[in-house]
Chains A and B, each alone.
Chain A
């Protein structure tokens, strides 16, 4: 048997049972690697279930800096779930390693000749060491992390430090956790020849990066963006956006003098009410948001139409999951793009932002409140389960203290005293954005009726053909203005002569550097464009026009961004090839490279044929 050999370039997969406390041990494992200066990514593959179902956690260590899901068979599997032991053994790469609980005998039929079995009687150790059932369960996780530290050549001090930090304030827990780590480490060091042929070596490749999930970043962005009102309804995978917002508010938004809250979070009865609350608050001049996922988007669509047509600011965070309908609630996808872009009946269009990392989740979440106030319309943050719920190495968050919130065109009482007549829907500045007033501003001027019906410039109900079409055209004009205010696409020119362009957005970013490198190795030079907003900035069309072959890479079945590009920019569909990955797992660089090559080969054959 040829054993897998690699320093700092391999995948470890943990097979656990959900509800057993493995998540914090696994996260500690990933974080320790980052502290050893190594690029690392961690993907949680979990069921829509609370307790007792299989869950996997995949950690990729990549000195090259490839942080997308690698795919393929992992070099090492930590098999802690008897229920899935067979498939977990099968999943190990030939030449790889299996760390398993040898407290009970491994069935003969599961044995493989081409992998190394590392048996460790973890349950037995726990039975001997701990009397409490819950402790027996929890410390199993810490013990295997200790063993991995020996097997993979961890700097043990890093782990010790992490444990101390993790249980800071609960000091009673530090010693037993350190003890469990030691138990695992000593056992492995004695029983196996450590480190294995796959192992880690310290590097200095992390810099000031942080490791965090996108939902936490969105929540923090909302705090920094000045959100004060939240309406929400729990739904996976968006729930933690609100939970984190709530916990940051408890730290950062309590009035020090009175102990009162400078925010209000209302758990609503359903998703329409959740966005209705955000909209009512936006109408009344507070920065407000809600967060949801696909099924919630369907339910909120009615209000998105009202907000579009009556021009009320609000922020909606859509943490996309696999649809349609209930779909796969704990799997990732980018399949709400079309439904969000054109949300609601009638001619309506919504402004979308597509963050790719926790850093951008923070940045765009805060920015969304400025944009909503500036554009007086919903701003939808299109993130996804992969970005939102998995931990990613990310640029640290930053905030420019000189930045002042853009509250948009709101007339106060003094402004109203100056104006001769207030016309809510008159395009004074020619950018399609009109001046609004807030309830309670002025005793005599500025009051108007906000409505979902057609209106004239004075906000009066009107069914006059001209009033209706003028308003609809102005809304289109405002949408064009939006295109100039959104984050521009990120274009990376790898080779001036490259004729192949890769277009993508959102969490796909993590897979791109690897795809570009793999294609490069095959002699395919590519430039890339990451789209970050809808409506599209002018550069988007330029990039597509300036490449002979354009691939639009997405995590959905129907090529939704490509449809938007065709529809909005009048691009010939034949000019863009869809690369689509939609099995619910994060897209991989290898998939992208192989798909692009396959498509190019097919075209070459066609030409040759």
Chain B
């Protein structure tokens, strides 16, 4: 294992619209276990941001506590990050977003962080329609404390020490749909082709976007009995709808010729090209999506892909009617009414 990231750059590394290469979107060297699914998520986020030509410093990375929450350190070095406390990322992301509506908010969380200690905060950040991308790296176990089962582990799933999950799992996609998320997807860290366009579309989506990414824990939950192992997930994936992301300026062809496809215009003018692998899947119907997730699960399989999107929904600031200027940029002249006004207020108390 190397301890330092090489600084070398190939002189002909591809550049994006901002003249930046992939290297400009990378972060510190990962300290996660070799083969951790989260590193693949890191790579996908890096690629998605680079391909979207996002100015890296205009992204705010916010996380809670856990292996997943360490991940933001490993991408977007030029972005500010905030590793908060366990399960509380959503509230900090809310406050940050209130302060500056112009940045891109990327929340990174895990199954313990979102489905257990932070379930309440997860529910309410979804409900308040915060404009952000919320990623859960879902491996069904607590990695940092060495493999305890998480609330997303299905009934009967065994962890490395042989302990079986006694209760039914919390499905965060179903929860997010119930709480009112306007973009809900599930993917697999081992499927970059599916994941990268989903991340790009989720970032371009205005409002709350949720991606639950099954991300195997190679150390504690990659056993033959696990439903979160690389092999199991590979063998049991069923895809609802595949998203292809078409940036604002560039027209690309969708390769899925055998599937029914649909173009959805996103807030920033980019296009989400949806290919329905399941011909009868309706990604605009929330109840349908919830039912399908549960149906596929009942068949012992995992539904992935884009499950639901509402590109028209308002986000928090529109509902609140917040000023277009970021609140953190308002000057004292605007904020402070001055002594003259205060004296009239005094008069109302006499």
Contact = CB atoms under 8 A, between A and B. Distances in A.
Contacts of A439: 57, 60, 79-80, 96, 100, 103
Interface in A171-227: 208-212, 220, 223-226
Contacts of B82: 280, 283, 449-451
A397 B346 CA distance: 7
B91 A272 contact: yes
A260 B124 contact: no
B124 A268 contact: yes
A283 B324 contact: no
A603 interface: no
Interface stretch (B3-11, B42-50, B337-345): B337-345
B99 A261 contact: no
Interface string B77-95: 1111111110010111111
Contacts of B267: none
Interface residues of A, number: 72
B269 interface: no
B120 A270 contact: yes
B1 interface: no
A307 to B, nearest CB: 10
Contact of B98 (A210, A224, A266): A266
A440 interface: yes
- Interface SS, B side: helix
Given A223-B337, A397-B346, A276 B84 contact: yes
A273 B124 contact: yes
Interface stretch (A349-357, A399-407, A565-573): A399-407
Contact of B91 (A273, A285, A450): A273
Contacts of B92: 276-277, 279-280, 283
B91 A276 contact: yes
Interface of B: 55-58, 60, 62, 72-73, 77-85, 88, 90-100, 102-103, 120-121, 123-124, 128, 317, 320-324, 327-328, 330, 332, 334-339, 341-343, 345-346, 349-350
Contacts of A438: 80, 328
Nearest to A31: B350
A284 B339 contact: no
A303 B89 CA distance: 11
Given A212-B349, A228-B327, A440-B60, A262 B342 contact: no
Contacts of B330: 226, 228, 262
Given A226-B335, A264-B317, A276-B121, 19 more contacts: A208-B346, A223-B336, A224-B337, A228-B335, A253-B335, A260-B321, A264-B322, A269-B120, A273-B88, A277-B91, A277-B98, A280-B98, A283-B82, A399-B339, A399-B342, A404-B332, A442-B57, A447-B78, A451-B83
Contact of B99 (A281, A396, A401, A405): A281
Given A226-B335, A397-B342, A277 B94 contact: yes
Interface in A483-537: none
Given A220-B345, A276-B91, A303 B332 contact: no
Nearest to A285: B328
A229 B322 CA distance: 11
Nearest to A213: B349
9 contacts: A220-B342, A223-B337, A231-B91, A269-B120, A279-B95, A282-B95, A442-B57, A443-B57, A450-B80
Contact of A449 (B73, B90, B322): B73
A448 B92 CA distance: 16
Nearest to B72: A449
A398 B77 CA distance: 46
A258 B334 CA distance: 14
Contacts of A268: 91, 94, 124
Contact of A258 (B95, B323, B349): B323
A443 B18 CA distance: 11
Interface in A444-474: 444, 447-453, 461
A386 B324 CA distance: 40
Given A273-B88, A285-B100, A285-B328, A252 B337 contact: yes
B336 A399 contact: yes
A447 B79 contact: yes
A361 to B, nearest CB: 13
A269 B55 contact: no
A400 B97 CA distance: 31
